[in-house]
Amino acid sequence: MNVTIQKISVFLTAPDGQNLVIVRMDTNQPGLYGLGCASFAYRAKAVKQVIEEEFAPFLIGRDASRIEDIWKLLTVNAYWRNGPVLNSAVSGIDMALWDIKGKMANMPLYDLLGGKCRERVDLYCHCNAATQEAIFEKTDKAVAEGFKYLRVAYSDYDGPSGDESYLCLRNECKHYDPKRHMRSIVSLLEALRERYGDEKELITDTHERLDPADAIVLAKELEPLHLYFMEDPLSPENLSWLGRLRESCVTPIAIGEVFSHPFEWQQVIQNRWADFIRCHLSAVGGLTPARKIAMLAEQYGVRTAWHAPLDTSPISLAVQTHLDYASPAFGIQEYSGLSDASAEVFPGLPICRDGALWLSEAAGHGVEFNEKAAASYPPKEGPTRWTEMRLPDGTLHTP
């Protein structure tokens, strides 16, 4: 069957408050189409423009079965390559092509990737809140729902406050005290370890908000608490410090959510500087590079923990869960929760139950897209401000 690309449409929507970029690719075969996630929440319009004005005219009429060839073609199409805008645009096309391939084969995506390696995909859930008491309420609720893996942090990251809102949704400048963060997170994790003993796995996200020397100090202070991992202790600009961190203590490290260039994840994996690689699928270019990252990680004993915050669509969550099922390198899957609004916009999205994620088992990635419902949740307008993080003296600091 000759399946060619006939039309590419791009939609912006924000059912959970973060801008999502969704691609629909129609083929010359009636009823055969694919859906992909091109989400880059803070440059959504730029990604949409690349797909509509550059990729769509270039791809119409091409063979939809040639996923690897098209991925490479789009990656080098602008001559200069990589970066989150370009990679996210490529990701939307790539995931849609994989969805079409699965539907053509009448197989769920994990079967195309080699079949299941496990019977469930365990999750770690977010338990961020403004106060220690509120965090305890969230972790107790998560434990009652079957979660074993708990990621905790204060809403303001540097300590207790009166603001419960998710930092990335506030869109305002914030002053941040790294030393306060170090003191408060150690105290919080000590209290949680005392509360749950060794029965639960604890995780915390540093979100790259520490200088390298402080990151090493914090990782050493967390060592007696036996964390499942410490997430993103360093920014990509300071990756060479990871070797020193690794030599200083045994606290497991997870890193990679802002990676967008192969040199970043290649050196981390090959040097075994981290225990978990946690790239954002759209930022690296989709499923095609993600499966290669997982294969590379497997060779070096590094596990995957793909990034899945509110600015990852349910389509991307489903795609990475299929990869989780099929990859021997799977470690844990991040989960931020999905609202009723997301379920309305994305029928067939993965379901969280008993601390694990369950797929629809439909052909392809299994998630649909309700265009009418999506229009009820328009994208947020205006510039991004929450990344303007400043130290107490006013110095701009890496978020």
Rounded to whole angstroms, the Cα distance separating 265 from 267 reads 6
Rounded to whole angstroms, the Cα distance separating 10 from 369 reads 12
What is the residue-wise DSSP string for 331-371?
--EEE----HHHHHHSTT--EEETTEEE----SBT-----H
Instruction: From residue 225, give the alpha-carbon distance in Å to each of 201, 202, 230.
Output: 10, 9, 11
Largest CA-CA distance found in the chain, in angstroms, rounded: 64
Q: Characterize the bridge pairing of strands 356-358 and 351-353.
A: antiparallel
What is the residue-wise DSSP string for 43-80?
SHHHHHHIIIIIIHHHHTTSBTT-HHHHHHHHHHTTSS
| 300 is annotated as an active-site residue | no
What is the residue-wise DSSP string for 192-258?
HHHHHTTSSEEEEE-TT-S-HHHHHHHHHHHGGG--SEEE--S-GGGGGGHHHHHHH----EEE-TT
Residues 110, 149, 157, 335: which is the catalytic one? 157
Reading the block at residue 246, the tokens are: 């690794």
Element (H, E) at 7: strand 5-13
What is the residue-wise DSSP string for 117-168?
S-S-EEEEEE--BSSHHHHHHHHHHHHHTT--EEEE-BTTSSS--S--S-HH
CA–centroid distance for 392 within its chain:
30
Residues 126, 181, 207, 280: which is the catalytic one? 207
| 365 is annotated as an active-site residue | no
How wide is the angle at C-alpha 137 spanned by C-alphas 132 and 142, nearest 5°?
120
> Which residues are catalytic, by number?
157, 207
